[in-house]
A and B are shown apart, each in its own frame.
Chain A
């Protein structure tokens, strides 16, 4: 298995909703990442988990809450989002945090209404 699987592919949520994005990999990678990408821009790093511990939080608002239940799973919990949070959310993984060689998922297209 050489894939990163993200669900759901599309999500529409209201500003008062609570929802979660899910990411899964079975490559034995020990680092997992959440990126946010706006249209026609490169991905922006949000969170990094290394060996299931949060290593970096790039000043992301608290309405985004990451969780790494085990070495294969990464969740992003969403609450009280704003319309400007609408974007493509990408998950990625690497063998180790600074090894490079990223594998990305197909993304979740999030629309906040």
Chain B
């Protein structure tokens, strides 16, 4: 059964710092991996979707990489801003007809 782990559980950084959030998964047989952002009490906003054949995706200050063979993905946030404060969730869709699996999330605080 696919397990998804996110480290660290919480992260606090000063504004302007570049940072990396980590996601690992136990079974490399995935269809794709998706990074979400969630503000308190709100729904999930999709940030980046990486297909299994891709190595990375970029959107603005965000860059997500995927290393399927090692079961790892990273979300890189450049020049962090207080508005980036949120919980970031990684989710994996396996390619064996099982539903998406979430990590527990990383709670990010960017201090002015």
Contact = CB atoms under 8 A, between A and B. Distances in A.
Interface residues of A, number: 23
Nearest to B89: A42
Counting chain A CB atoms within 10 Å of each CB, which of B41, B43, B104 scores highest? B43
Interface in A60-78: none
16 contacts: A43-B44, A56-B99, A97-B99, A98-B31, A98-B93, A98-B95, A98-B97, A99-B93, A100-B49, A101-B32, A101-B46, A102-B34, A104-B44, A104-B46, A106-B43, A107-B43
A34 B93 CA distance: 16
Nearest to A101: B49
Given A42-B102, A104-B44, 12 more contacts: A42-B103, A90-B43, A90-B44, A98-B93, A98-B98, A100-B31, A100-B32, A100-B93, A100-B100, A102-B34, A102-B44, A104-B46
B91 interface: yes
A104 B43 contact: yes
A103 interface: yes
Contacts of A48: 99
Nearest to B92: A100
B87 to A, nearest CB: 8
Interface string A80-103: 000000001010100001111111
A40 B95 CA distance: 28
A56 B99 CA distance: 10
Contacts of B32: 100-101
Contacts of A56: 99
B76 interface: no
* Interchain residue pairs A-B with the least CB separation, the first 5: A100-B93, A42-B102, A106-B43, A104-B44, A100-B32
A54 interface: no
